[in-house]
Amino acid sequence: MEFVFVGGDPALDLVGTVQRRRTLARDLLREPADLGAWTAAAGLVDQPVQAGPEELEQAHRLREAVYRLGLAAVAGEPYPTADRRLLNRLADGPVLGLDLRPDGTLRRTGSAAAVLATVARSAQELFALPLGAPIRECASEPCTRLYVDRSRRGVRRWCEMAGCGNRAKAAAFRERHPG
């Protein structure tokens, strides 16, 4: 699976599991096993969680709510009520198990519901004012990833320089230097 973690927050990385939403949308969470794989790849748990169709549907609902909340944050608009309520409800779910081992490593375990609750809580903190994170949408036309802009001047344009940023700069160069 081609998961990419450039959002700067687990909630925005969950949103990024749909690529190119406005053109050739590609959902990376098609099966319950995909959700399990994402939970471990995101570093939320050490081993993929067991997920069924219900958990996958809940992950899709959370993902789309966070996307709409993120777009509202980008536009400086009020958060949609239904999405905010869903986020708050899911955030009340179970917590992940953490176990500090003698060697200083941390073991992370939990259910799909605990992972989704963790992602929802992360989104709550991300969108909370007055210190809500500066959320941006990638300036690359086909890309629809949301990310936290932690650049020094707050002017980051692309979700990742190695992908979208590079393509945009190469296209601008070709436009300035035809032939």
Q: What percent of the chain lies above the pLDDT cut of 90?
A: 69
**pTM metric for this prediction:** 0.88
- Strand-pair partners of 146: 137
Q: What is the pLDDT of residue 45?
A: 98
Q: Looking at per-residue confidence, does 149 or 160 come out higher?
A: 149
Question: Does the structure show a pLDDT above 60 at 168?
Answer: no
pLDDT in tens, 20-50: 898 999 999 999 999 999 999 999 999 999 9
Do strands 18-19 and 26-27 pair parallel, antiparallel, or not at all (unpaired)?
antiparallel
In terms of C-beta density within 10 A (0-12 exposed, 13-18 middle, 19 or more buried), how is residue 178 classed? exposed
Provide long-range contacts, Cβ within 8 A and 24+ apart, for 116-119: 116/55, 116/58, 116/59, 116/62, 116/90, 117/90, 117/91, 117/92, 117/93, 118/10, 118/44, 119/10, 119/11, 119/14, 119/44, 119/62, 119/66
Q: What is the pLDDT of residue 141?
A: 80
Question: Does the structure show a pLDDT above 60 at 133?
Answer: yes
Cis peptide before 134 (omega within 30 of 0): no
